[in-house]
Amino acid sequence: MKKRKQNRPHKQTGPRRKSTTQLNKRGTTNYTVDIDTTLLPFLLETISNKSRNAVKSILTRGQVSVDGKVTTKHNHPLKAGQVVGVLSNKESKKQSQLMGLEILHEDQEIIVINKEAGLLSIAADDPTDLTAYQQLSDYVKKENPDNKIFVVHRLDRDTSGVMLYAKSEAVKETLQKDWKNTVKERIYTALVEGNVKEEHGKYASFLKESKGIKMYSNLDDNGGKHAVTHFRKVLGNENYSLLEVELETGRKHQIRVHLKEMGHPIAGDKLYDAETNPIKRLGLHATTLVLVHPGTNKLVRYTAEVPPAFLKRVK
C-alpha cells in the first residue's frame, strides 16, 4: 500500500506533544497532554498528518480514550498530565469484528473485556453458541497462530461487564492460585426490585448447590460455602433500586441469591423469584475489577460503565 501524502500540518497553538507507543495495548499510541484544552483541538494538533475530517472520524469511531476510558465527545475537557490514547485503524477493524464484547485492555499477560449480557464466557453444551473465549482465541491468533488465551474466571451468561482472560497458562495459574489476594476489589451494579431502605449493609450466609443450577442459602452452616456480600444503595424509587455490590467471597450466583434473600431479587432474575423484567435482561453488571497485575505487580483498575437502561429505571 502506498504511503499517504502528509497533509499540511495544523497551526501549532502550544508546545508539541511527544508520543510513545504503549506496548501494553497493541495498536494504541499514547499522547501526554501538556496544557489544559479540549479533545478535538488536541487531536487536530497532535495528529497533524491527517485531515480534520479524518481526525474527527477517528474520534467518532470510538478509537480515542482519555486515561484509558473511551470517549467520542469532541469537547471532552483535558487537563495537563492526562494521557490520550489513539487506537490504530487496523486494530480498530479487528476489534469491530468482535460480537458482544469490547476489549478494555490488552498487554502481554492479559486481556480485559466488557462482555455484553447474553454472551457466554466459555463454551457450553451447544458447540455452535458464540462465546467470548472463542472470539478472543481467534482474535489473538490473527497476530500469531500459536497464540492462546486461558479462562481465569467467569461471568454468568446474562451478566455483563468486566472479565479477565490470561494469555498464557503460567499467568492463568498465577492468578488462580492466589485469586483472593490478587484481586483487591470486585464491584457489581445491580438493578433490584423494590425500594431498598438501608443505605448500606452486609449479607452473609452459607450457599449450597442443588442437583440443578440453583443455589440455596442458609444463615446456619448447611454444609455449603460461606459467602459474604456488601452493598451500598446508589439510587432508587418505589419500584426499583440501584445497588453497588462488592464481593468479599466469590461463590456461584452469590449476588443473585443474597439479594433475593434480602427481599430484593435482581430485576429479570426469574431463577431467583424476580417478578419483573423491565430491561429484558438480568439487571447485573460487573462494573470494576481491581487486581495486582501479574506482569508488573502494580495495582490496576478496569471498569465498564453501568448500562444506561439500569439508570433509566431508578430516575
What domains, with CATH codes, occur in the chain? 19-88 (3.10.290.10), 97-312 (3.30.2350.10)
Q: CA 38 to CA 274: how far, in whole Å?
A: 45
- Amino acid 93: pLDDT: 63
Output the pTM of the full model: 0.70
Which pLDDT tens digit goes with each residue over 136-149? 998 888 778 899 99
The distance between the two most distant Cα atoms of the chain, rounded to a whole number of Å, is: 73
Q: Is the pLDDT of residue 286 over 90?
A: yes
Mean pLDDT, residues 288-307 taken together: 94
User: What's the average model confidence in pLDDT over 261-282?
Assistant: 96
Is 15 a residue whose pLDDT tops 50? no
CB atoms within 10 A of CB 209: 14
267 pLDDT above the threshold of 60: yes
Q: What confidence tier does 125 reach under pLDDT thresholds 50, 70, 90?
A: low
Query: DSSP string of 161-221?
Result: EEEEEESSHHHHHHHHHTHHHHEEEEEEEEEEES----SEEEEEEEEEE-SSS-EEEESS-
Above 50 in pLDDT, residue 6? no
| CA-angle at 185, arms to 182 and 190, nearest 5° | 140
pLDDT at 2 over 50: no
Top-confidence residue, 212 or 100: 100
pLDDT in tens, 20-47: 434 345 578 899 999 999 999 999 999 9
In contact, 165 and 272? CB cutoff 8 Å: no
Contact yes or no for 101/119 (Cβ under 8 A): yes
Element (H, E) at 111: strand 110-115
SS3 11: coil
Residue 162 has pLDDT above 90, yes or no: yes
pLDDT at 126 over 50: yes
The whole-angstrom separation of Cα 192 and Cα 293 is: 32
| Rounded mean pLDDT, 91-101 | 73
Separation of alpha carbons 216 and 198, rounded Å: 24
Mean pLDDT, to the nearest integer, of 146-167?
94
Residue 19 pLDDT class (50, 70, 90 cuts): very low
Give 144-152's long-range contacts (Cβ < 8 A, gap of 24+): 149/111, 151/121, 151/122, 152/176, 152/179
